[in-house]
Structure 1
Amino acid sequence: MTSRRCPAWVPLAVLLLTVGQLAVAEWVPGIDRFADKAFGARLVAYPLLMLLAPTLWWLLVGRRDRFAPPPYGAFTLVALPFLVDVTGNSLDLYDAVVWWDDLNHFANWLLLCAGIGLLVCRRVQPGWAVVLLVTGLGAALAVGWELGEWFTFIRHGTELDTAYEDTLGDEALGTLGALVAGFAVRRALRGSVLRA
């Protein structure tokens, strides 16, 4: 049986598509949907966050074992939420589709936490510990993300009146996405743990 692996160009394409849209949002004038959404900060932060997983993997695994195949699929899963977020802004989906933000918090945390789980949970046993670890990491990241949104957009913005309810909903949806990711990672790793 042959093993299917994600090719290296896939996470690179996700990175380039994200950076390209961020560059348009920051430097092309006159696009109202990009106004007051901190695209200058995102242009710096998103690529750095997208490159964090491959960098840490290389420092912790790749340098010690030059023959270890890089987990490009996991890198792609970690990077995809940033592309989805930027694309949602580029297509004006946050304003045009009422439920888009809620779907993003669930789906993006599912993708992000599945990628992180595949990177960090290979040796975690028993299976329920994988689910708890991925869910806990996702919940912590959801709280961190909402703190970042509050600091960047809400504290001096126009959304202060509805921020509390939105924040709680976003954190709950992110944690639910992380829980689903935990079960998916447990299932994905079950076969590799049994064969190891």
Structure 2
Amino acid sequence: MTTMVATTVPTENRRRALQFVALGAKAVLFMLLLSALIWPDLSGIKGKASTARLIVYPVGAMVLPLWWWAYGRTRSRLHERFPWPADLLITLPWLIDLIGNRLNLFDTISWWDDAMHFILWGLLTAGVLIAFVPRTLSRGITTFVALGFGATAAVIWELGEYYAFVRHSEELQTAYTDTLGDLALGTLGALLAALILFQVHSRRAR
């Protein structure tokens, strides 16, 4: 009994910490989006499909809570409680991307864009896997699901960037090479997320 209580308390503390961090990430994201509306010249996304980003980013950050409220609570295969780790992982890519643009890191650090496509797609895919994919899947199936989501999301993102601002900017001259690289890095990030997550779930199941 004592061991069970000792185990439950740290688990509940970690859950509360994750909830606090996830909500904090959302708060910072929405504050940055609000400031971009008030001071668009300082946002770092002016001329980079700012209107689309102001719509897509909050939707992306809120998609899991909205899904959970409308439908997910009734799905027994998910956690009985809201999956805060998944929510944090899904929120971070939007927040990190917005911060990177605000600090002008995409235009001042040559490798920043490539690193973000790899890392952020890994975080996003990991969040989606935790929230929507059963932990009992094999390594192969988990990998296929991750690649399916990651590659599809990467293609949608690149199409959105192209139609929103790339086709009218100087980046059009190098867009083909850059897009291929972004797609490859995003897919690799999704693959790595699947392999790491499967390994974590396997160790916890032992």
* Fold in common (TM above 0.5): yes
Q: Which has the higher helix share?
A: 2
- The farther-off stretch of 79-88 and 151-160 is 151-160
TM-score, normalising length: structure 2: 0.85
The one-letter code of the counterpart of 1:117 is L
Residues 190, 45 of structure 1: alpha-carbon distance in 2 compared, 3 angstrom cutoff: same
**Are residues 57 and 185 of structure 1, via their aligned partners in 2, closer, same or farther at CA, if it must alter by over 3 Å?**
farther
1:158 and 2:181 matched:
no
Deviation at 1:72, TM superposition (A): 0.5
Structure 2, gaps ≥5 residues long: 1-6
Equivalent residue for 1:130, pick from 142, 162, 167:
142
Aligned pair count?
193
RMSD: 2.0
Range that drifts further, 13-22 or 174-183: 13-22
Matches within 5 A, 1:1-196: 1-2=7-8, 3=11, 4-5=14-15, 6-28=17-39, 30-31=41-42, 33-63=44-74, 68-191=80-203, 194=205
Distance 1:14 1:22 in 2: 12
Gaps of 5+ in 1: none
Query: AA paired with 1:90?
Result: R
Q: Work out whether residues 151 and 186 of structure 2, in 8 Å CA contact, stay in contact via their aligned partners in 1.
A: yes
What is the identity, as a one-letter code, of the residue corresponding to 2:112? Answer: W
In structure 2, the CA distance between the partners of 1:34 and 1:138, relative to structure 1 (3 Å rule), is closer
The one-letter amino acid of 2:163's match is: F
Give the TM-score of the pair, scaled to structure 1.
0.89
Contact 2:129 2:146 in 1 (8 A): yes
Q: How much identity, in percent, do the aligned residues show?
A: 39
Structure 1 CA distance for aligned equivalents of residues 200 and 102 of structure 2 = 33
Instruction: Output the CA distance in 1 between the equivalents of 2:137 and 2:56.
Output: 33
Helix, strand or coil: the match of 2:48? coil
What is the Cα deviation at residue 64 of structure 1?
Answer: 5.6
Offset of residue 30 of structure 1: 4.1
